[in-house]
Amino acid sequence: MEISQLRTLIHVAELGSLSKAADRLGIAQPALSRQVRLLEEELAVRLFARHGRGMVLTEKGHEILEHALRVMAELEEIRAAASDLDTPLRGRIGIGFPPTVADIISVPLVAAFGKAHPQAELRLVGAYTGYLLDWLHRGEIDLAVLYDPHAARSLRSQPLLLEDLFLIGPPGSGLSGSQAVPFRTLAGKRILLPSTRHGLRTIVEQCAMEAGITLDVAVEADSYATLKDLVRHGHGWTILPLPPIHDDIAAGRLAAAPLIDPVPVRRLVLSYPADRPVSRLARFAGEAIGSIVADHVARGIWPGQLLDMDQEHGARRS
């Protein structure tokens, strides 16, 4: 049994398709098919049921998949236990962020690397979650901060933050951080939001449904800079996290207020590929990102609730 066979099992199980797994891993489909066949022959069980639309795990396949995931995790722990934690590291690491996170984390993260591992080469990538997921799976980046990714067995994720979203208005709109705005009062306002392909839009639309209103979305723009400029010039209101507009609010260029009934929130996680070892540089990056997020929450720059694995199922949405 080879590690590559377990890695193939994990990705085919998640994607339900040899062709999709081959594209993700950059390996020819016949080679992946052979790995699955050899693993099934060695274990003397059928791991997948084949059908016209792809492949699904059998009952025994589900059981073996859980063992495969634990094997990959244990391999990483062995590597971590053997490493010398006091030695400055060299090498190159790719880290992905959503645009709103990149704006606030990049500077302190580069400073942390400069202090602990000054000879490491950083590649910081800003993109939406769908792109970051693809690059993680392809090995183009080593870890990523993600918003509300779908459960993926091919990722090892730890929750970071349940982030509050705020109503953003132009200067003089009367919005204040000390006075919450009921979500239902957005009815009839000219709203500016990202497109329906964006996760934030989905959250806002769900909150509108819970509040019993329909939003008047006058403009769609997937650029946060565009949304900020449109609001600043009086073309409407938007809903965004606070960190990317913190300086604008402090300078009086924008105004913001928390929303309630319901509170729109996004779950932020830190993710590594589960089928590959996590390098010491990637582990350091993850720890530094967690510390930066906690510091920003403590200083009120990043409103939200810090999460850990035990809090995952108790996260609020009220």
Is-contact 11 21, C-beta < 8 A?
yes
- Which structural domains are found in the chain, ordered by start? 3-82 (1.10.10.10), 91-160+266-314 (3.40.190.10), 162-265 (3.40.190.290)
Calculate mean pLDDT across residues 242-260. 90
What token pair was written down for 276?
A: 């590959």
**Distance between CA atoms of residues 194 and 222, nearest Å:** 5
Q: Phi, psi at residue 165, to the nearest 5°?
A: -105, 145
Q: Report the Cα 237 to chain-centroid distance in Å.
A: 26
- pTM of the predicted structure, to 2 decimals: 0.67
For residue 25, the tally of other CB atoms under 10 A from its CB is 19
If you search the block for the tokens 């497109």, which residue do you land on?
Answer: 195
**Distance between CA atoms of residues 222 and 220, nearest Å:** 7
pLDDT at residue number 190 = 95
pLDDT of 317 > 50? The answer is no
Q: What percent of the chain has pLDDT over 70?
A: 92
**Distance between CA atoms of residues 209 and 91, nearest Å:** 48
**Distance between CA atoms of residues 317 and 294, nearest Å:** 20
Q: Higher confidence at residue 278 or residue 215?
A: 215
Partnered with residue 48 across adjacent β-strands are 57
Q: CA nearest 71: which of 5, 159, 136, 14?
A: 5
Calculate mean pLDDT across residues 269-285. 86
